[in-house]
Amino acid sequence: MFMFKKHIPRRAVLKGGGAALLLPFLDAMVPAATAMAQTAANPKLRAGFFYIPHGAVQFDTKFGPEGDRWTPSGSGASYTLNTITQPLEPFKRYVSTIGNLENAASAGSVHVRNPGSWLNCSTPTTTIDQIIAGKIGQETTLPSIEVASETTVQQAAGNGTATAITLSFRGTTPLPMEYNPKKVFNALFGVTTPKERVLNARESDSLLDLVLDRARTFRSELGAADRAALDQYLESVREIERRIAIVAATDISSMKIPERPVGELDDFDKQVDLIFDLLAIAYQADLTRVASYVMVAEGTNQTYTHIGVPESFHPISHHANELPKIEQVVKIQTWHMERFAAFLKKMAETRDGDGSLLDHSIFLYGSNMGNSDKHSNWPIPTVLAGAGNGGMKLGGQHIDLKQRTPLANVHLTLLRKFGIEQSAFADSTGVISEL
């Protein structure tokens, strides 16, 4: 639900349901969005990466395949979802689930390297979202957006270590995941009115000129090691210069901009929905085409009282093969899938040129852990959704790969779908032809 500060009775909003209320509002923005180089003949492909920590309850608990609550089966008409994946039912034509993936890069990580090795299958190096942003993100204000529902600094996961706090790396630089909705909003729409936004952009531009000017002399005063650090800083400065140029040239005053959120919400469930809403708006208004989202932090102590789970996610994910605990973990994992499904619903209902946003997107949803009780790095639960401008196989399918197929094969396949031809990615052994 977008957070209006006043005059929207909560009950009415609840009754209306998130999407119902949001859609008219989103529709209001479509003219502005279409103005940004969107035509029916030329739909833009979007990418999204949605992360949930602590794996999924699969076939590798003490209860074996009987106890599997994640893995679907079959394909097409016989494609049957499981408990946790059930919320995908309305969109299953758009869904592929993949079994038996392994990520060698997160072996023995406990929690510290799981988020940061999900999208690169490696020690810190450029992640696939950033590779894709490099290809398709250059026309939009934000080449990519990185968000979270809560702080990703967690005691149980390295307490601020780079590989735990983010999904996204550019080179070895971790990209911070923003969890303050107000700052996410500001990144999308600016900190002030559209008119002032353009003036501010000009002012920022001259400030960046100063930075670049000074950096040239600064650089000559430094040794080789420090120059490399400065260059990485300058790369970011140039990127912002480019963004500012787009902002200065983009008139968003015709866009109906929603009210600025005040800040982080106290209720976790509303916070998750708000971040999803901001992403939906960003995709629709073509402010970005690539997003990565940590739905809840690795090693989190988040509780889920709104679905009757008062226990904290991380401790209870060490379920020790006890059924009551496993059931609570399944509830949490199902709830997250529901939120993702609600987002897919918005994407499916949002017109984008000749189709819907879901037709023009590829979304990866998953974890970088198999069995949370063992911190195992396989099987990595993985969902793909979206038609990908016709690039993805439709109809719904569970793809049962050879045991311990590298997760990097998924990444290599996705890169190809975005027109990035690479012969290999990380430890990949090939593409997944079924997708």
Provide the residue type at 172 as one letter. T
* Closest CB 324 distance from another protein, rounded Å: 5
Q: Which of 265, 357, 414, 435 binds another protein (CB under 8 A)?
A: 265
H/E element holding 317?
helix 313-317
Q: Which of 29, 45, 165, 255 binds another protein (CB under 8 A)?
A: 165
Query: Burial, 423: exposed, middle or buried (Cβ in 10 Å; 0-12, 13-18, 19+)?
Result: exposed
Residues 58-97 contacting another protein, CB under 8 A: none
Residues present in the chain in total: 435
Q: Which of 78, 321, 403, 422 binds another protein (CB under 8 A)?
A: 321
Q: In angstroms, rounded to a whole number, what is the distance separating the alpha carbons of residues 361 and 347?
A: 9
Residue numbers 127-156 binding another protein by CB under 8 A? 143, 146, 150-155
Using CB under 8 A as the binding rule, whether residue 172 contacts another protein is answered as yes
Of 85-93, 223-231, 385-393, 415-423, the window that binds another protein (rule: CB under 8 A) is 223-231
CA distance 200 to 240: 13
Closest distance of CB 288 from another protein, Å: 12
Q: Any bridge partners for residue 398, and if so which?
A: 97
Chosen residue from 263, 395, 419, 430 binding another protein by CB under 8 A: 263
Specify the residue for token string 């590298």. 406
Q: Which is nearer to another protein, 137 or 388 (CB)?
A: 137
**Residues 362-401 interacting with another protein (rule: CB under 8 A):** 373-377
Can residue 125 be called a binding residue for another protein (CB under 8 A)? no
Decide if residue 230 touches another protein (CB under 8 A): yes
Contact status: 322 vs another protein (CB under 8 A):
yes
Q: By CB neighbour count within 10 A (0-12 exposed, 13-18 middle, 19+ buried), where does 416 fall?
A: middle
Closer residue to another protein, CB minimum distance, 52 or 392: 52
Our CB check for another protein shows the closer of 42 and 321 to be 321
If one asks whether residue 237 binds another protein (CB under 8 A), the answer comes out as: yes
Find out whether 327 and 4 touch, Cβ atoms under 8 Å.
no
Answer yes or no whether residue 220 interacts with another protein by CB under 8 A.
no
When the beta carbons of 53 and 87 are compared against another protein, the nearer one is 53
Rg (CA), the chain: 21
160 binds another protein (CB under 8 A): yes
**Looking at 20, 37, 40, 191, which residue binds another protein (CB under 8 A)?**
191
Check binding of 207 to another protein (CB under 8 A).
yes
Phi, psi of 149 (to 5 degrees): -90, -15
Which one, 81 or 275, has the nearer CB to another protein? Answer: 275
Site for another protein in 280-309 (CB under 8 A): 300-301, 303, 305
Min separation Cβ 242 and another protein, Å: 9
Site for another protein (CB under 8 A): which residue of 23, 28, 104, 215? 215
Tokens representing 211 are 């930075």
Q: What would the 3-class secondary structure string for 131-161 be?
A: HHHHHHCCCCCCCCEEEECCCCCCHHHCCCC
Q: C-beta of 79: minimal distance to another protein in Å?
A: 32
Q: Are 103 and 376 in contact (CB under 8 A)?
A: no
295 touches 51 (CB < 8 A): yes
Distances (CA, A) of 45 to 194, 286, 355, 410, 414: 26, 10, 12, 18, 12
- Give the nearer residue to another protein in terms of CB position, either 37 or 191: 191
CA of 373: how far to CAs of 173, 352, 381, 393, 400, in Å? 30, 42, 15, 34, 23
Characterise 73 by phi-psi region: left (phi > 0), alpha (psi -120 to 50), beta (else). Answer: beta
**Contact pick of 310, 402, 423, 433 for another protein (by CB under 8 A):** 310
354 near another protein, rule: CB under 8 A: no
Residue count, binding to another protein (CB under 8 A): 92
Min. distance of Cβ 95 from another protein in angstroms? 31
